[in-house]
Amino acid sequence: MTYVGQPVPDLKAPGTRATVKDVVAAYVGLTKPRVIELLLLTTVPVMFFAARGVPSLGLVVATVVGGTFSAGSASVFNCVYDRDIDEQMRRTRRRALPRHIVSPGAALVFGAVLGVLSTLVLGFWVNWLSAGLSVAANAFYVLVYTMVLKRRTTQNIVWGGIAGCFPALIGWTAVTGQLSWAPVILFLVVFFWTPPHTWALALRYREDYANVDVPMLPVVKPAREVARQIVLYSWVMVATSIALWPVASTGWFYPACAVVLGAVFLVQAHRLHARTRGTEELSRIQPMHLFHSSNLYLSLLFVAVAIDPLITR
């Protein structure tokens, strides 16, 4: 998926040249901006929670800039490694590398520069613990998930999703300079959220994954079993989200939101499971309903994390 709405040219086509706008959009697209938005949404609210109020604006800016570079770097390396399968999948074949707007070598340099900048920004303007956690997240995403797990096991996104949980830790350490149980709980919320979120999307694009031999759970298991596991992870996710209340001694606002949002999410998960009864037809299962609901759930839950200390302190 490209970052801009207009189709970009394929440089393999005779007589086709990319404009400056195409190239800039291609480099931005390599960083997967929508993924960055989601990661920052789990970073900044945790900073408010850790500060028990409004954190320093300069600290927030430095953390956001460093986090953006970090997530962008990991995404670029992922795009380079996966360019062979991205070219064959409907969901990804319009990315920069399959369209030959950017060469693999140039993308690697771009990813490395973003990684170095991220480490320097976080290290010098936030703290070195946050910088180290960011490097660890990137290394896990690229070396463990992308290069080892993704093409070998149905548990790829379960364990590979650990990389996407680190922003909760980074947001906390950016403010406090140390780890504690509260960000670990939020880390686990994102960990248990990732399978329902990703498997719902993978149900929609299971033929794409099957065609490139990526063993996502919906490729190797019937929709009914996928939905069953989505329900199980959803229950654990909601229970974990509520556990933040006693662990971190939150006010009343966060647990109230966690219960309401969790109940809505569980209803959506159970509805998905019910729709898989006796069918594999995507038009009847409608997995994208849960996918979009999962984005809204995580966004609102972390907004509640940020608001709670502001109205209940």
Query: Is residue 15 scored above 90 in pLDDT?
Result: no
Q: Are residues 29 and 158 in the same domain?
A: yes
**What is the torsional sign of CA 91, 84, 146, 38?**
negative
- What is the Cα–Cα distance from 254 to 238, expressed in whole angstroms? 13
Between 128-139 and 104-125, two packed helices, what is the crossing angle to 10 degrees? 150
Domain end among 127, 155, 177: 177
- Residue 139: which residues within 8 A CB-CB, separation 6 or more? none
Q: Is 32 exposed, middle or buried (0-12, 13-18, 19+ CB in 10 A)?
A: buried
**What is the torsional sign of CA 32, 33, 37, 42?**
positive
The structure tokens listed for 100 are 């030959």
Q: Are residues 277 and 186 in the same domain?
A: yes
Q: Are residues 43 and 95 in the same domain?
A: yes
16 pLDDT band, cuts 50/70/90, is low
Q: Are residues 163 and 216 in the same domain?
A: no
Q: Are residues 21 and 129 in the same domain?
A: yes
- Of 200, 177, 235, which is closest to residue 51 (Cα–Cα)? 177
The mean pLDDT of 281-288, rounded to a whole number, is 92
Predicted local confidence at residue 83, as pLDDT: 94
The structure tokens listed for 46 are 């945790």
Predicted local confidence at residue 80, as pLDDT: 96
- What is the Cα–Cα distance from 301 to 250, expressed in whole angstroms? 13
- Residue 148: which residues within 8 A CB-CB, separation 6 or more? none
- Of 184, 175, 276, 187, which is closest to residue 231 (Cα–Cα)? 276
* pTM reported for the whole predicted model: 0.92
The mean pLDDT of 109-135, rounded to a whole number, is 98
The structure tokens listed for 174 are 């950016």
Query: Is residue 9 scored above 80 in pLDDT?
Result: no
Task: Express each pLDDT in 27-73 by its tens digit.
Answer: 999 999 988 888 889 999 999 999 999 999 999 999 999 999 999 99
- Of 34, 23, 128, which is closest to residue 75 (Cα–Cα)? 34
Total domains in the chain come to 2
91 pLDDT band, cuts 50/70/90, is confident
- What is the Cα–Cα distance from 142 to 223, expressed in whole angstroms? 29
Q: Are residues 157 and 184 in the same domain?
A: no
Instruction: Please tell me the number of Cα atoms within 13 Å of 71 on its side-chain side.
Output: 25
The structure tokens listed for 310 are 């502001």
The structure tokens listed for 128 are 């070195």
Read off the CATH number of the domain in which 62 is found.
Answer: 1.10.357.140
Predicted local confidence at residue 6, as pLDDT: 39
Query: Is residue 267 scored above 60 in pLDDT?
Result: yes
Predicted local confidence at residue 18, as pLDDT: 72
Query: Is residue 11 scored above 60 in pLDDT?
Result: no
Query: Is residue 93 scored above 80 in pLDDT?
Result: yes
4 pLDDT band, cuts 50/70/90, is very low
2 pLDDT band, cuts 50/70/90, is very low
**SS3 state of residue 229:** helix
Predicted local confidence at residue 313, as pLDDT: 64
Q: Are residues 212 and 187 in the same domain?
A: yes
Q: Are residues 211 and 268 in the same domain?
A: yes
Query: Is residue 5 scored above 70 in pLDDT?
Result: no
Read off the CATH number of the domain in which 239 is found.
Answer: 1.20.120
Domain end among 158, 177, 196: 177
Task: Express each pLDDT in 164-218 by its tens digit.
Answer: 999 999 999 999 999 999 999 999 999 999 999 999 999 999 999 999 999 999 9
- What is the Cα–Cα distance from 119 to 70, expressed in whole angstroms? 8
- What is the Cα–Cα distance from 56 to 48, expressed in whole angstroms? 9
- What is the Cα–Cα distance from 2 to 91, expressed in whole angstroms? 10
Q: Is 117 exposed, middle or buried (0-12, 13-18, 19+ CB in 10 A)?
A: middle
Dihedral (C-alpha) 142, 148, 154, 159: value to the nearest 10 degrees?
Answer: -50
**What is the torsional sign of CA 57, 58, 63, 68?**
positive
- Of 141, 142, 95, 101, which is closest to residue 12 (Cα–Cα)? 101
Query: Is residue 102 scored above 70 in pLDDT?
Result: yes
- What is the Cα–Cα distance from 72 to 30, expressed in whole angstroms? 7
Q: What is the mean pLDDT of the chain?
A: 92
Q: Are residues 148 and 286 in the same domain?
A: no
Domain end among 152, 177, 202: 177
What residue numbers bound the domain in which 234 lies?
Answer: 180-313
Q: Are residues 4 and 146 in the same domain?
A: yes
pLDDT above 70: percentage of residues in the chain: 94
Of 18-27, 116-125, 188-197, 252-261, where does mean pLDDT reach its minimum? 18-27
Task: Express each pLDDT in 138-162 by its tens digit.
Answer: 999 999 999 999 999 999 999 999 9
Q: Are residues 196 and 220 in the same domain?
A: yes
Q: Are residues 98 and 222 in the same domain?
A: no
pLDDT above 90: percentage of residues in the chain: 85
